[in-house]
Copies of this chain bind each other. A is one copy, B any other.
């Protein structure tokens, strides 16, 4: 572990991303046989330039409580598969209708809508299969794994991400009040970001109070991350982001800047990041990656 003075977030993120990418690459067989198109479509989006934020949060969460990244890699990969499936379905013409994601053509643009729907379904299902695999069960107690699967299913399902996505879609081009906006953001993005870091802490054997502190951290940065997405959509550059800037406003999306203004959104975001870092006050240097990731959320450009 690098010391506080030495800790270089850029190096940390790039190292962990490489580890996650390698683990993801071993998740699927070489395309072959009748369902090759499906495997190609799943892998296309899985390797379309994601930052691996959720897997890295899972790894950083486990490190904070003294766990090791080898113990959480299958769950880290599962989190990225769930995130990727949600992007594929979000981009569909019947949903957000996006042609571009991270600077590349979206899944349905390359493979057609039917295969894109099924590639999403396949990634979501494989995420759950992966969390029952021998790689994980040989290292972690089955009871803890079941709790983690339950946590992630809750965070990604109708009471979490999918719920937030429905409200996001039905709120388009409507005047949205603050509680609805808050519901969309905490559910659509916040729940899975929070579950990512919490699952890491649970798998690493964190005590109940450690897991609680890390969950509080996750909830705060989850919302802060979505607000920064909203702000970037206004202030960001299409080339840097790899998707069209200003598309939220075009679609009449309920965003923090649209409801409370850009300035106030920035203030709320800063408060959330401060609260997130405060949650970690009883952690030592082992939580430094989490603290630095929280700060990075405000500074990021894409």
Residues of A within 8 A of B (CB): 28, 33-35, 37-39, 42, 85, 89, 92, 94-95, 112-115, 117-118, 120-122, 124-126, 128-129, 131-133, 137, 141-143, 145-147, 149-150, 153-154, 156-159, 162-167, 169-170, 180, 183-184, 187
Contact = CB atoms under 8 A, between A and B. Distances in A.
Interface SS, A side: helix
A199 to B, nearest CB: 13
Contact of A94 (B37, B117, B133): B117
Contact of A143 (B33, B34, B142, B165): B142
A79 to B, nearest CB: 13
Copies of this protein in the complex: 2
Contacts of A142: 141-143, 145-146
A118 B39 contact: no
Contacts of A125: 124, 153, 156-158, 162
Given A118-B165, A165-B118, A157 B126 contact: yes
14 contacts: A35-B183, A35-B187, A38-B163, A42-B158, A95-B117, A114-B166, A115-B166, A121-B124, A125-B156, A125-B162, A128-B153, A132-B146, A133-B150, A142-B145
A38 to B, nearest CB: 4
